[in-house]
Amino acid sequence: MMSDTPPANDLYTTLGVSRQSTFMEVRDAYKFVSKMYHPDKFHDRSGKADAHVLFMRAKFSYDTLSSEVQREIYNRFGEESLDFDPRLDETKILEGMVGMYLFWCGMIFFSTIDAATRSSRTWLLLAGLGMLLAEVSFSFTKAEVPHISFAPALTEHQLVLLLHAIFPAVILVLQAVAMVHYVDVDAALAEAVRAIDAQHAHMGRAMGLVGKALHTGRMSAADREEVLQVERQGASLDALHARLEGLQSHTNDPMAKYYWFFIAGFYGCLYWMQGGEE
């Protein structure tokens, strides 16, 4: 009896070969798989029917991967595009990309309206731009996904679908980072200014008490304690001034200084993908 497991959707996985497999390797793999799943090897009706599905899937995989043109289309645009090369109608490709990325831009904008998440907007737009440029490179240039040991059958089309799938998670993660680092600067500044004003008021009263003591030649225990309390709060006042200066130069984007890292990483990825041509 055959198992009820449906045939693999990935053509490379169906034949058990990698993206870098040569025509001879694809042919040998097809011979092996076709013999394994040939319907004549199974005598019961259910097993024969399942074997026929797997056998036809293996034949389709071989027909596609043994043709350089069909293989290129499959790698870049997926199985659904094998009937017509999308590169013959570049306008349709661009229309699809424009619709998709306008949707992402709208999602980024409306999900970051709140002040606490607004600082993540720039990073999200940069991530979306990187994803767009990768998709354009795969669709209109010879850029390829180099061999990856843990994903030997990964195609450009599958990588694009993977990026689309994880992008909502990227949005949530970057928004969470922005919320953790968010500071309401206006409210914090107002609070610091009020605290400094209160300290100045206490200092003014303490100076008045000292002046009174100098004039009368004596100071009550309560007045002395109040003056000592203001003196002890001097360090707190210095800390408040430092806090105030820090807030005035504060940014709610803790990674603002590292935009260069994103750009360098993007160009590194492009170089890595271009290496697949060689």
* CATH number, domain with residue 21: 1.10.287.110
Q: Do 192 and 236 belong together in one domain?
A: yes
Q: Do 190 and 108 belong together in one domain?
A: no
Q: Do 165 and 107 belong together in one domain?
A: yes
- For the segment 163-183, the average pLDDT, to the nearest whole number, is 89
Examine the pLDDT at 5 and tell me if it is beyond 50: no
Residue 188: what residue type? A
Q: Do 135 and 231 belong together in one domain?
A: no
- For the segment 38-55, the average pLDDT, to the nearest whole number, is 77
pLDDT for 277: 45
Structural domain includes residue 4:
no
pLDDT tens-digit series, residues 220-260: 777 666 666 666 555 555 666 666 566 555 555 555 566 65
Quote the pTM value. Answer: 0.70
Q: Do 215 and 267 belong together in one domain?
A: no
Structural domain includes residue 80:
no
Q: Do 119 and 157 belong together in one domain?
A: yes
Q: Do 193 and 174 belong together in one domain?
A: no
Structural domain includes residue 78:
no
Structural domain range at position 156: 86-182+253-277
Q: Do 163 and 264 belong together in one domain?
A: yes
Look up residue 68 and give its two tokens. Answer: 């350089």
The 8 Å CB, 24+ separation contacts for 6-13 are 6/53, 7/53, 7/54, 7/57, 8/57, 9/79, 10/153, 10/158, 11/60, 11/61, 11/64, 11/65, 11/74, 11/79, 12/61, 12/65, 12/152, 12/153, 12/155, 13/153
> For residues 122 and 185, is the Cβ–Cβ distance under 8 A?
no
Kindly report the average pLDDT of the chain as a whole number.
79
- As for how many domains the chain has, the answer is 3
pLDDT tens-digit series, residues 133-152: 889 988 988 888 888 888 88
Structural domain includes residue 239:
yes
